[in-house]
Amino acid sequence: MFRRTIALAALAALLSSSLPAQDPQSQTGTPLRHDVVVTATRLETPEKKVGSSLSVVSGEELVRTGRTFVLDALEAVLGLSAVRNGGPGATSSVSIRGANSEHTLFLLDGLEINDPINPSRSFDISHLPLGQVERIEILRGPQGLLYGSDALGGVINIITRTGRGRPRLTLASAADTLRSAAADVSLAGSGAKTEYSFGLFHERTAGVSAASSAYAGNTEKDGYRNLDLSARVGYAPRPAARLTLTVRASRARTELDNFGGPGGDDPNSVQTYGSLLVHGQYRDLAGGGRWERTLSLSWLGARRDNANGFDAAHPDERDEGLYRSGLLKLDWQNNIRLGHSHTLTAGLEAEEETGRSAYVSESAYGPYESSFPSARARTAGVYVLDHWEVRDRFFVTAGVRADRHSRAGTAVTFRVAPAFVLAASGTRFKASVGTGFKSPSLYQLFAPPTSFGPVGNPGLRPERALGWDAGIEQRLAAGRVVLGLTWFENSFRDLVDFDYAAGYVNIGRARTKGLEAEAEFRPAGGARLRASYARLSARDKDSGAELLRRPRDKFSAEAGFRPFGRFDLAAEVVWVGRRLDRDYGAYPYPVVALPGYVLLDAVLTAPVGRRIELFVRVDNLLDARAETVWGYGWPGRVARTGLRLTI
């Protein structure tokens, strides 16, 4: 029935792709302006009208910094904490405001990309390159109303480029002291009725030891390879309609180690990852331009293989794992303009997720096998949002949503996000309160029991979150200075945890709260200064203990200027404070303190003629030892250089 419903809906409209809002070009020495964003309200909205806490990493910043992967671009973002199990390509995750990493919903052009076969349904962000990314929008706080399951902590929406104007071919290459080599090719443009954007990215690196070389016995480097292809073709059969097809495929190979800490090295442990995303969307206007209709259909398939055979260092140990997942999703959204300052958004979503896995191992304890047969779950949701404003001063988005999961039942969420602007003083007040939920993952629901006891629990309930924030933004010096301060608090209940006697159960409770401060200054001459600071308290409400891997303090700052009016020189510093973790190399896994660290990066870009741009980037100038997971490695000082040719 579910597949027939999607098929009938797809026949009702041709395929198309989303139309992300254009990011205004910043001009040297001009006042800061509010960007147009899409993630906070599901439609194009000036940022000043948004009451939610939102950060935007613009395309200009992404190009200027010379970074390669999305994860690198998120390291310094306010309210985010990134964790990686080693060097390039190692499993990586992002936490928002102290929530669990699986409480971050990742979107690619508005499409959900969290992995259904992951035990907690989180997303490994390590493989996403920046080559085709136009900007990244980060939405903090529970977002169940807007996006349904998984967005308890917030949403990260990675928005890719669309073709605009005359054909434009860009060729880029880079190399660094980790023996990395990268190539990036893109072609984009548009005509009277068509638009297109194609991209090809490839990188390979010798990497670093996944098990930190700071511990005894870890000398072998773990390499990484990544290949990513994307295509986006759009067609406008008439002025008020657009249809596009988007296809994205990626394949990565990561060398791994057995564990972090002393003796974790393994010379032949390898993980291969592949994914395919196919997305179509139809968008048009009716009712004299007052009714915008969008029908979207997407499919995401992912495959992960782990292979670790016998070797000289581990002659009696081997393991293999195979993981498959699929996500089919339909989204029908309607924006109805009831007046010049009043828009109603309503829609429905339906999705089906599938997954299966198999794992075998041999060791001194004997053979072990774990099989997770194919399982599926379905979710249907309906939502309505009201966007309302008064005299370009007061803005509010409010709404309610109901989702029905085929196993976990019904979840109802809401959100209210007002903003108030005093134009005369350049002051903006903002606030939001909302709820979120996370349906149990396929593994948490259906994992078969083992000889040690039960695992999956079909009776699990959704995890729940209630969160609020309130803040003030002040603009000074004709908009060239922006100061912001935000308070927030989130409460989580019914968190899924593992009990050795009962398997997965709803027993967890947690609370996160804190303060976020940010400042930005753009004087004349192309100079820029930006800084942010976050203070976080994240605790288990039952035991009172600090949650692991959440830094209490994080500070970041960037300074840049344009010497001689042509070059661009920038430096960025990130300080991450003390965190707690567990040493999984010693039983019974004692709690350990990870020391704080400081990362200092610098990048110089220089145009050579009209078509070529060179860059030199040095990461971790201080050669700091940064451990985000106990026992796992981090690259030391790395110098990277490259060029970009535009035709």
Segments making up each domain of the chain, as ranges: 2-646
Q: Is 400 exposed, middle or buried (0-12, 13-18, 19+ CB in 10 A)?
A: middle
Q: What is the pLDDT of residue 35?
A: 78
- The one-letter amino acid at 92: S
User: Which residues, 6+ apart, have CB-to-CB distance to 156 below 8 Å?
Assistant: 74, 94, 96, 104, 105, 106, 107, 136, 137, 138, 139
> Domain 2-646 belongs to what topology?
Maltoporin; Chain A (2.40.170)
Q: Is 542 exposed, middle or buried (0-12, 13-18, 19+ CB in 10 A)?
A: exposed
Beta strands in 364-426 (DSSP E): 366-390, 394-405, 409-422
Q: Output the six-digit token pair for 291.
A: 């009714």
Using alpha carbons only, what angle is made at residue 505 by residues 501 and 507, rounded to the nearest 5 degrees?
Answer: 110
- CA 622, 627, 628, 634 dihedral sign is positive
Q: What is the pLDDT of residue 563?
A: 86
Alpha-carbon dihedral 27, 30, 31, 35, rounded to 10 degrees = -20
Distance CA 451, CA 14 (A): 51
Rounded to the nearest integer, the mean pLDDT of the chain is 92
| H-run or E-run covering 250 | strand 241-256
Distance CA 122, CA 119 (A): 8
Q: Output the six-digit token pair for 582.
A: 């567990």
Taking the CB of residue 512, how many other CB atoms lie within 10 A of it? 23
- CA-to-CA separations, 316 to 259, 313, 359, 484, in angstroms, rounded: 17, 9, 17, 58
Distance CA 154, CA 53 (A): 10
Mean pLDDT of 459-463: 97
619, 73 Cβ separation under 8 angstroms: no
87, 68 Cβ separation under 8 angstroms: no
The phi and psi torsions of 91 (rounded to 5 degrees) equal -50, 130
pLDDT tens track for 361-370: 999 888 999 8
151, 436 Cβ separation under 8 angstroms: yes
pTM of the model: 0.93
Which range (67-76, 580-589, 616-625) has the least confidence? Answer: 580-589
Distance CA 620, CA 637 (A): 5
Q: Which of 17, 532, 418, 76 is nearest to 230 (CA)?
A: 17
Q: Give 607's pLDDT tier (boundaries 50, 70, 90).
A: very high
pLDDT tens track for 107-148: 999 999 999 999 999 999 999 999 899 999 999 999 999 999
Distance CA 630, CA 594 (A): 7
Mean pLDDT of 588-594: 92
Q: What is the pLDDT of residue 127?
A: 96
345, 334 Cβ separation under 8 angstroms: yes
- The one-letter amino acid at 272: T
592, 582 Cβ separation under 8 angstroms: yes
DSSP count for the chain of H helices, then E strands? 5, 33
With b meaning 16 or more CB within 10 Å and e meaning fewer, what string describes 580-592? Answer: bbbeebeeeeeee
Distance CA 404, CA 381 (A): 6
**pLDDT reading at 319 higher than 80:** yes
pLDDT tens track for 402-425: 999 999 999 999 999 999 999 999
Q: Give 435's pLDDT tier (boundaries 50, 70, 90).
A: very high
Which range (45-49, 92-96, 448-452) has the least confidence? Answer: 448-452
Taking the CB of residue 412, how many other CB atoms lie within 10 A of it? 12
Which range (13-17, 287-291, 416-420, 556-560) has the least confidence? Answer: 13-17
CA 95 from centroid of its chain's CA atoms: 9
267, 220 Cβ separation under 8 angstroms: yes
Q: What is the DSSP string of 263-309?
A: T---SSEEEEEEEEEEEEEEEEEETTTTEEEEEEEEEEEEEEEEEE-
Q: What is the pLDDT of residue 364?
A: 87
- CA-to-CA separations, 392 to 55, 341, 395, 594, in angstroms, rounded: 22, 8, 8, 48
Distance CA 449, CA 370 (A): 9
Measure the N-to-C terminal CA separation of the chain; round to a whole number of Å: 50
Mean pLDDT of 369-376: 93
Distance CA 581, CA 567 (A): 42
The phi and psi torsions of 448 (rounded to 5 degrees) equal -70, 155
- CA 535, 539, 544, 548 dihedral sign is negative
Distance CA 407, CA 381 (A): 14
pLDDT tens track for 11-68: 333 223 333 333 333 333 334 445 789 999 999 999 999 999 999 999 888 988 889 9
141, 52 Cβ separation under 8 angstroms: yes
